[in-house]
Amino acid sequence: MGIKVLFIYPNTYGMNMLPPAIALFSALLKDHGHSVDLFDATYYQTDHGIDSDGTKAERLNVVPFSASEKGIKMRETNWSDDIKVKVEDFQPDLIALSTTEDMWLLGVRMLDEIREFITRHKTPVIVGGVFPTFAPELVIKHDLVDMVCLGEGENTMIDLCDRIEKGNSWDDVTNIWAKKKDGSLIKNPISNSFEINDTPIIDIDLFEEQRLYRPMAGKWYKMMPVETIRGCPYKCTFCNSPDQTTLYNDETDSKFFRKKDLKLVYKELKHFKENYGVEYNYFWADTFLSWNDREFDEFCEMYADIRLPFWMQTRPETVTEYKMKRLAEVGLHRISFGLEHGNEGFRKKLLKREWKNEAIIKALKIPGRYGIPFSVNNITGFPTETRELAMDTVELNRHIESHNQNLYSFVPFHGTPLRKLCEEMELVTPDTITKALTDKPMLVQKQYSPEEIEGLQKCFVYYVKMPKARWKDIEKAEANTPEGQKIFDELKQEYTEKYLTPSPSATNDESHNSADLEYGIEHTS
């Protein structure tokens, strides 16, 4: 018979790549005889956060797009009514909330909305994701939360659902913090990492059709998120991947960083192309090119048969002439590079990224030689950063012929080394919940104010692409005043006409999607 599992996915419009973790869990649980349903908040008006894609378009980080092209539209019904209808109709035996940190408070609102159902039926609630993994003590405080999943959730969800079906206790299920009736906690150990080559093809039928579409180059494509690598070999301090690696290395006999068998990747790609008409593949590895030479060649040989355009993200130091040539031949359509900061010393000391600017500039000339458009992602507002240091990021980007440039404000996500530094500096408290990458700056620092950060973000693309003779006008456009807005709008028209003309190969950047990552890919639920 199995049990009924309802996944709840708190999300906002503009962060609309479907979450592959939920699709994977659905496939696994169905293979074990359980029933699965989903309440996805993406296309509801939730009054939470901002439109991520819309913000990037307003800042000219991407080519403008229209959701009406594919009939993508918001729901007209109220989410608070619909989630109640969903639980009453489905009658779940388990509610599983999958959340990123910036969506946690929206998730809390959703649980509170179905409080009466949960308490009446005594339905257990489990919460998982990168945020619950690294801030379980915050999540377990909510009175409706019975369990928090730390680390990967595949083995945990299978074991938990099987136990609920049999009426057995879940108190010793691995990776779980379980709340007992008296309020005390059972903190179970982390089990070995899941064997990613045992994963079934993810269950995208769980999602509505419009969730498969994503804007690229001002148009919408039916796009599929595809896993090739889990984890990352690098140690960037603003990302959660290093702490996930440490968690598994310290507490298990397995490693968090591993690579998926490319025969299995091929099977998935072929399935979605032939059975779902997928038009574009989105490889959501932290660093796509962290393969050895043999693995890279194997991917290219495999993908030559798929021949769909695809997007990837990687680091400048992974780029070579050979790799760009081969990838262009098999369909690489767009790259997103994580540059993050333009000052070599600051980048090395604070972010643990040691490549030299000269080498970065040289490497990022290569994609253009093979007609591959790319975007560059940058961050500002780090602890101890100044406006002067931030302008070094502008200077470095001016030496790079990227098709799009993003400048995000730093977010001290739980589970990142820089979060610990921010707490030590008393810039945030341990219980501070972070915002989205595209939201307003969080840190308040005397030497570099939130207003200065917002101004630079607002005008970043102007500084990068326009002549330095225009910088005085651009600086005036940073001001949040009627005069500043007037100058900004004039510059925007000029920029749009001269620098943002879409080309057949230019694409929107999908970087730092909240559905998938907190400065690092979100694999767990």
The answer on pLDDT for 361 being more than 90 is: yes
pLDDT, position 191: 94
Flag whether 438 is in a domain.
no
* 115 & 241 share domain: no
* 233 & 356 share domain: yes
498 backbone φψ class: left, alpha, beta (φ>0; ψ -120 to 50): alpha
What are the tens digits of pLDDT across the range 56-77?
556 565 555 566 666 778 889 9
Instruction: Give me the mean pLDDT over the 92-108 stretch.
Output: 96
What are the tens digits of pLDDT across the range 115-148?
999 999 999 999 999 999 999 999 999 999 999 9
b/e sequence 251-285, b meaning 16+ C-beta within 10 Å: ebeeebbebbebebbbebbeebbeeeebbbbbbbb
The answer on pLDDT for 196 being more than 50 is: yes
Q: Average pLDDT over the chain, rounded to whole?
A: 90
pLDDT category of residue 509 using cuts at 50, 70 and 90: very low
* 176 & 255 share domain: no
Structural domain boundaries enclosing 135 = 4-187
- Domain count within the chain: 2
Flag whether 104 is in a domain.
yes
Instruction: Give me the mean pLDDT over the 335-344 stretch.
Output: 96
pLDDT category of residue 216 using cuts at 50, 70 and 90: confident
Q: Which of 180-189, 269-278, 447-456, 501-510 has the lowest mean pLDDT?
A: 501-510
* 177 & 231 share domain: no
The answer on pLDDT for 472 being more than 90 is: yes
pLDDT, position 506: 38
Distance CA 399, CA 262 (A): 36
Distance CA 410, CA 58 (A): 19
Of 125, 39, 49, 135, the C-alpha closest to 80 is: 39
Instruction: Give me the mean pLDDT over the 371-393 stretch.
Output: 97
Distance CA 223, CA 215 (A): 9
Distance CA 103, CA 10 (A): 6
Flag whether 444 is in a domain.
no
Flag whether 32 is in a domain.
yes
From residue 94, alpha-carbon distances to 123, 130, 327 in Å are 6, 20, 44
Instruction: Give me the mean pLDDT over the 409-418 stretch.
Output: 96
* 357 & 243 share domain: yes
pLDDT, position 60: 61
Distance CA 174, CA 156 (A): 6
Full-prediction pTM beyond 0.85? yes
* 20 & 125 share domain: yes
CB 50 within 8 A of CB 514: no
| CATH number, position 289 | 3.20.20.70
* 181 & 232 share domain: no
* 168 & 250 share domain: no
pLDDT, position 78: 95
pLDDT, position 53: 47
pLDDT, position 522: 35
Of 394, 380, 353, 512, the C-alpha closest to 445 is: 380
Share of the chain above pLDDT 70, in %: 90
From residue 39, alpha-carbon distances to 42, 208, 390, 489 in Å are 9, 10, 41, 40
Residue 340, SS3?
A: strand
* 246 & 363 share domain: yes
The answer on pLDDT for 332 being more than 90 is: yes
DSSP secondary structure, 277-319, as one string: ---EEEE--SSTT-S-HHHHHHHHHHHTTT---EEEEE-GGG-
Give the domain-ending residue among 382, 397, 415. 415
Which of 516 and 309 is assigned the larger pLDDT? 309
Residue type, 421: L
The tokens describing 376, both together, are: 């560059």
Flag whether 201 is in a domain.
no
* 411 & 271 share domain: yes
Instruction: Give me the mean pLDDT over the 374-395 stretch.
Output: 97
Give the domain-ending residue among 391, 415, 439. 415
* 30 & 179 share domain: yes
Other C-beta atoms closer than 10 Å to the C-beta of 131 total 29
pLDDT category of residue 111 using cuts at 50, 70 and 90: very high
* 249 & 372 share domain: yes
| CATH number, position 169 | 3.40.50.280
3-state secondary structure 149-194: ECCCCHHHHHHHHHHHHHCCCCCCCCCEEEECCCCCEEECCCCCCC
